[in-house]
Amino acid sequence: MILFAGDPHGSFAHLYPIVREQENVSLIILGDLQLTSANELDALAAYCDLWFIHGNHDSKTVAAFEALWGSQWRERNLHARVADIQGVRIAGLGGVFRGQIWMPPSKPLFFDPIHYCQYCPQEKIWRGGIPLRHRTSIFPSDIETLETQQADILICHEAPKPHPSGFHAINQLAEKMHIKHIFHGHHHESFDYQPLEHCNPYRITNVGFRSVADINGNYLLIGVDDREKK
């Protein structure tokens, strides 16, 4: 069984009842894990085969970055690659579009991190590379790495069109890769694509805040982001 989890934002308690009651679960988190350490991933992985892509919140702090890229868990980041998970080819595109790098449909300002660093002021260089914030920015090179490959499912943090805040660049990538289903996070209220499914040759599922969906796009859990009301 393959399940897709929407943005946890530092809380994973809602996932345990689901992964504990099922057998042979591969759980894929669609970004914004917002960790303070890798301990939470270690604990959750005792009950499932755990994968993820990063979201924009995963480079907001050094601790959040280190939890994913400074631990053995970096090998489970599906960003810019295709992995066979339970016989299904799943491609990952983590991160978000940012105007300082590339905001489609505008032309990109930089092709890849090396190109960015050539023009970046030295005081903004972080650990010998791009600034911490842009470790979760999408570069055209990320798209180029994926578009020559094929997969069954594309997972991404950003949304494709026809989401009101979506990007056609993701639709173009899905078409080139012959994708059958896109799962994305980032937007906390799950957008209903069903009335618009005739627009694309593949299905799209928005897995919202602390929500979980199965491989067919059925929701096992729908979370409500009420954090600002507390």
pLDDT in tens, 148-158: 999 999 999 99
Report how far apart, in Å, the C-alpha atoms of 194 and of each of 9, 174, 216 are. Answer: 27, 18, 12
Q: How far apart are CA 44 and CA 67, in angstroms?
A: 14
Q: What's the whole-number mean pLDDT along residues 165-186?
A: 97
pLDDT of residue 230 exceeding 80: no
Q: How far apart are CA 210 and CA 30, in angstroms?
A: 10
* Residue 228: band (very low, low, confident or very high) from pLDDT cuts 50, 70, 90: low
SS3 label, residue 200: coil
pLDDT in tens, 96-149: 999 999 999 999 999 999 999 998 888 889 999 999 999 999 999 999 999 999
In the chain, where are the structural domains located? 2-224
Pick the CATH number of 2-224 from 3.40.50.720, 3.40.50.300, 3.40.50.150, 3.60.21.10: 3.60.21.10
Lookup: tokens for 221: 């859990």
Predicted TM-score of the model (pTM): 0.94
Q: How far apart are CA 53 and CA 186, in angstroms?
A: 11
